[in-house]
Amino acid sequence: MLRKLFKFHGGVKPQTHKTQSTTQPIARVPLPERLVIPLHQAVGGHPRPLVAPGDKVFKGQRIGGADGSLSSAVHASTSGIVRDVAPALMPHTSGLTTLSVVIEPDGEDRWGELDKVNYRTAPPDELRDFLRDAGVVGLGGAVFPSYAKLKPGKEGRLKTLVINGAECEPFITCDDLLMRERAADMLKGIVAMRHMLQAEEVLIGIEDNKPEAVAAVQAAIAASGQSGIQAVAIPTRYPAGGAKQLIRVLTGIEVPHGRRSTDFGVQCFNVGTAYSIFEALEFGRPLISRVVTVAGNVDQPRNYEVLIGTPMDHVVRQSGARPDTDRYIMGGPMMGVRLPAFDVPVVKATNCILVGSPALFPPPPPEMPCIRCGECAKACPADLAPFEMYWFSRSKNFGKAQEYHLFDCIECGCCSFVCPSHIPLVDYFRFSKSEIWARERDKSSADAARDRFEFKNFRQEREKQEKAEKLAAKAAATREKVAADSQAGTASPATEAPDTAKPAAPSAEDTKRALIAAAMEKARQQKAQIAPKNTEQLSAETQADIDAIEARRAATATPPTPDA
């Protein structure tokens, strides 16, 4: 059946380079000498280590516990001995380290006792917890904990579950091979997800340059007898595999930046994720390995089932890296990240180890000024005007860059890909975003500091106010006392008529003098208090002023001041 497909704006058609790595089935990789398993591999909180150096671990044993509201567990990929729990280099351009568990395999690769769940009867909440503890995260590269996405929206049900088998990045074929070889099991995972999400229909989007995968998935659907699940071949155009773009192509819905797709009745998962969900639910096996494409500057590009934590050079050795290799890239050539070393570990986000050489990925020609040709805007799948954002990023006018929707940029690289002036546009956008985040962080810590400061001021003001009130009371008391004293000798000054004030003058003078003395004392104290005050705290200050005036008035209003 032909479905109506939708188009997304822009996109590019880089050379796909996919055929070389699909000629052979997925292979296993021999156990490496040691595995380095970073504890923080997914979006969300840092799992806490559950093992210590010297511990024996089984394959599948939890070594990092999910922590916080959004987090995902991490497991030992093979049996062996924990040699270290220490920071190690992460597979990221930054060259930063992250807390990792180093395991020396014992060679037996023995599973431990695995938790099981009956996913056909268990309530969704229990399944979600189970998947969180099984460490299942999005394997398309975003590594978002899957359990957190397996919640239908407010309505409790979903219109469409989109399964992403588009795999639009050049060189990468791990999803292709997975669909070809494991379509039936993957489909079981999809059925379980569909059940959890109460999804009306399931659309599996696959770029039409993978006819074998489309056929395999269609055959699996037919064999399963499931209805409402469809494998759809979509036009090959990068980045059709971006979640938003795929949702757009299959359903016509555009999920805006910052909104949940479930609000629009859609949720999207990668095919590899679906397979891991199957493994977890069916066998209780946590996510300890994944399919990884090794491609680029190697003799035999191929896909491997790789244990998480395996050093990348160990994997690449199976394919034979060529001598002029100068870098590994994790991911594809459009969005991949250049790695700081060859022996960084394979993690859950590693869909591809792209082996690079200067000949394969030559440095771009020198950057020229932007000629405003608009090619970048034509290619942008987010409908942005990259050259405008570039201009403002360059001049560090981040506010303006944000006005041009900087944060809607998905960093797909299409704009850099087409720019005739060879401007590394995405680099500018990454830079701007990180600058803005840094400023936000600074601002929020400054906000916290200001809050503390304001509270201190508030406290001081309150104390001052209390003091002023006390003073006012005291002044009133003084006045009363003075008044009482003078009253003893003369008629009540309060009732005295102005023209009869003369006889009472001396006592009135006394009263006045006493009051002035009290007021001066008060003013002196006030001054001492005002000195350290921040002039910005106007409201508190004004309040104090008002209090002081009131106190003064209270002290001076009632006594007769005929001469004054």
Partner 1 sequence: MINSPFVRKAASVQQVMLQVLLALVPGIAAYVWFFGAGILVQIALASAAAVAGEAAMLAVRGKPKALFLSDLSAIVTAWLIALTFPPIVPWWLTVTATLLAIVVVKQLYGGLGQNPFNPAMAAFCLMIVAYPALMSQWPAAGQLDFSSQLQLIFGGARQVDAISGATPLDALRTALRAAANPDSQLHGLRAAQLMDGPAYGMLGGKGGEWVALGFLLGGLWLLQRRIITWHIPGAFCLALAASAGLLWAVRPEGFASPVFHLASGGAMLGAFFILTDPVSGATTPRGKLLFAAGAGVLTFVIRAFGAYPDGVAFATLLMNLCVPLIDMNTQAPVFGHKKD
First-to-final CA distance of the chain: 102
Considering only residues 73 to 112 of the shown chain, the ones binding partner 1 according to CB under 8 A are: 93
Question: Which among ligand SF4, partner 1, none contacts residue 386 (Cβ within 5 to 8 A by kind)?
Answer: ligand SF4
The answer to whether 3 and 201 are in contact (CB under 8 A) is no
Contacts with ligand SF4: how many residues (CB under 6 A)? 30
Which listed range, 30-38, 120-128, 284-292, 376-384, lies at the site for ligand SF4 (CB under 6 A)?
A: 376-384
**Residue 171's closest CA among 329, 29, 392, 63?**
329
**Residue 353's closest CA among 345, 365, 363, 364?**
345
Q: Which is nearer to partner 1, 203 or 384 (CB)?
A: 384
Please name the residue that has the structure tokens 């001598």: 323
CB of 403 to partner 1, least distance (A): 9
**CA dist., res. 289 & res. 204, Å (int):** 23
Instruction: For residue 27, report the phi and psi dihedrals to the nearest 5 degrees.
Output: -110, 160
Q: Among 421, 478, 486, 526, indicate the residue that binds ligand SF4 (CB under 6 A).
A: 421
95 — alpha (psi -120 to 50), left (phi > 0) or beta?
left
Contacts with partner 1: how many residues (CB under 8 A)? 60
Which structure tokens are listed for 88?
């190690």
The answer to whether 216 and 233 are in contact (CB under 8 A) is no
Which listed range, 109-117, 337-345, 383-391, 445-453, lies at the site for ligand SF4 (CB under 6 A)?
A: 383-391
Read off the DSSP letter of residue 344: P
Question: Which among ligand SF4, partner 1, none contacts residue 336 (Cβ within 5 to 8 A by kind)?
Answer: partner 1
Q: Among 25, 68, 211, 420, indicate the residue that binds partner 1 (CB under 8 A).
A: 420
Specify the pairing of strand 302-307 against strand 289-296.
antiparallel
Q: Among 404, 433, 514, 526, indicate the residue that binds partner 1 (CB under 8 A).
A: 404
Is residue 428 close enough to count as binding ligand SF4 by CB under 6 A? no
Q: Which helix (H) or strand (E) holds 99?
A: strand 97-105
CB of 373 to ligand SF4, least distance (A): 4
Q: Among 29, 423, 475, 514, indicate the residue that binds ligand SF4 (CB under 6 A).
A: 423
What percent helix, strand, coil does the chain show, rounded to 5?
A: 40, 15, 40
Question: Which among partner 1, ligand SF4, none contacts residue 254 (Cβ within 5 to 8 A by kind)?
Answer: partner 1
E strand intervals along 106-198? 158-164
CB of 413 to partner 1, least distance (A): 4
Which listed range, 29-37, 86-94, 368-376, 499-507, lies at the site for ligand SF4 (CB under 6 A)?
A: 368-376
Is residue 142 close enough to count as binding partner 1 by CB under 8 A? no
Q: Where are the alpha helices (DSSP H) in 404-424?
A: 414-418
Is residue 304 close enough to count as binding partner 1 by CB under 8 A? no
Is residue 342 close enough to count as binding partner 1 by CB under 8 A? no
Question: Which among ligand SF4, partner 1, none contacts residue 8 (Cβ within 5 to 8 A by kind)?
Answer: partner 1
The answer to whether 216 and 271 are in contact (CB under 8 A) is no
Is residue 368 close enough to count as binding partner 1 by CB under 8 A? yes
CB of 350 to partner 1, least distance (A): 15
Read off the DSSP letter of residue 264: G
**CA dist., res. 213 & res. 224, Å (int):** 16
- Binding-site ranges for ligand SF4 (CB under 6 A): 370-376, 379-382, 384, 386-387, 390, 409-415, 418-421, 423, 425-426, 429
